[in-house]
Structures are given as structure tokens and as C-alpha cells.
Amino acid sequence: MRIILIVVAVIAAIWVAPVLISEDSGLKFGVSYRVLFTLFVLFAGFLFYLLRAPEWKPFKSTPRAVGSVGLVFVAVIGAIVLLANVSPQFASEGQASTGASSGERGKAAFFDPGVGCFLCHTVATSGGTRGPDLTHVATVAANRRPGLSVEDYLKESLFSPGAYVVATFDNIMPPFGDRLSPEQLKDILAYLMSLR
């Protein structure tokens, strides 16, 4: 009973406290976190219940003993699989690849560590700062090199990054033309041209 009361009190605190805390405090956890903390408290409560549970005597029959072991396996594996399935999921690329547009595939490639664009460039709030911010690259590229279209300028930046280096940045980008497949190149260009 004491354990149940403690668990209920802690869970109540998890859900009530954020109502009392202001947004600016920098301490307010979102709903997803509160759900995670609640599950954790329930688990801890169950563990402390087990610490107090009365002793179990040996099973009288073999089928019951084997059944108990089977039950432990099914419960443990089932609980873990369930937990994994309610955790954040990304869409399976295997299903999405057929329907995704070139720009969407380009975005995925841009943020794919195997390609690595985002390690040096930021789009919106994600990415590195060793290279220029590309959040509005399509707008910026329109006036960067007189005579070059947005697409040609971006192609030049991918094939010969040293041809134009933005002031305050070093000429450190390797040519990406040979590193990417023609499809990836086309998709990344489509994505960059959508960043207006």
C-alpha cells in the first residue's frame, strides 16, 4: 500500500509540476518526457513491490515450472518489443523510397552521415558551422555569381567548391561530384534549390 501511495504521489508530481513551472524556467519537460518518467516510476514501484513480495516455494509439477519459465520469456521479450514499438519511429526507407520526391530524397541524403553535407552546413537548426548556412541557399545563390543560374552555381559548388569561397570561411570542402551517384547529385540539387 505504501509503495502504491509513493508511486501515485511521484507520478502526480511529474504531471502537476510542469503546470506550475513557467516556460522560461528552462526546466519544463514536455509530454513525451513525462510519459517516459511515468513508465520509469511504475517500473521502479514494481521492483520495490518485488523486494517485499513473499517467498515462493518450489513448483509442485514440472509443467508448471516449465510454464513459468516460458511465461518469463514471453513477458520479457514481449515487453521489450512493445516498448521499442511505442518509441519514436522514422518511416522505413524501404517503404518510402518509391513514393518520395527527388527533394525529399535529397534532404535524406543531405542529412545522411554517409554523405555528410550536414556535418559542415546547417539547414534551419540542424547541422555544422564549418561551412556557410544553407537555410536560404537557393535565394542567396540567385545573385552570388552574375551569369550563373542557381542550379549552375550549386553544381559548381559541388564539383569545384574552391571556385567561389564565401568570405569568413576557409576553402576546406572537397569536390563532391565524384563522391555522389548521379541520382544522389540530382536529389541533393533538388533539395538545395528548394531552400528559399
Partner 1 sequence: MPPDVPLINDRLVLWVVAELHLLFAAFVLGAPIFIVICEYLGLKTRDERYERLAKETMKIVAIAYSLTALFGGAMTFVLVGKYQEFSNFIFQRFYPIFGLYALLLLAESGLMYVYWYTWDALAGRKRWHISIGVLLNVLGTLVMFLMNGVGSFMLTPPDSPATATVWQSLNNATWTGLNLHRFVANISFGGFMVALFAALMFLTSKKEDDRAFYDWMGYIGNFIGVAALVVLPVAGYIYTKEIFAYDATISTLLMADKLAWFFVMQGILVGFLFLGAVYYMWLSIQRIEGGARFRTYIRGAIWACLVGLAVWLVPQSFLPSLTAEPSGPISEVTIPEKTIFLGLMPAKGLAVSAIVVVTAFVYFLYRQAIATGKMAWGRIDVKAQLVLTFLPAVAVFTMAFMGPIREMARGQWHIFQFMPDKTPYSFITPLGYTAIVAGAITIIFFLLMGAIFWLGFKVGHQKETT
User: Which positions touch partner 1 (CB under 8 A)?
Assistant: 23, 25-33, 36-37, 40, 44, 47-48, 50-51, 53, 55-59, 62, 65-66, 68-69, 72-73, 76-78, 80-81, 83-85, 87-94, 97, 107-108, 111-114, 116, 118-119, 126, 181
Q: Which is nearer to partner 1, 104 or 145 (CB)?
A: 104
Q: Which residue in the block uniquely carries the three cell numbers 535565394?
A: 139
| Cα–Cα dist 94/177, whole Å | 26
DSSP structure string for 77-143:
HHHHHHHHHHS--PPPHHHHTTT--HHHHHHHHHT-TTT-GGGT-EETTEE-SSS---TTHHHHHHT
Provide, rounded to whole angstroms, the least separation between the CB of residue 129 and partner 1.
Answer: 15
Q: Are 25 and 41 in contact (CB under 8 A)?
A: no
Closest to partner 1 by CB, 107 vs 189, is: 107
Q: Smallest distance from the beta carbon of 172 to partner 1, in angstroms?
A: 15
Cβ proximity to partner 1: between 89 and 168 the closer is: 89
CB of 175 to partner 1, least distance (A): 15
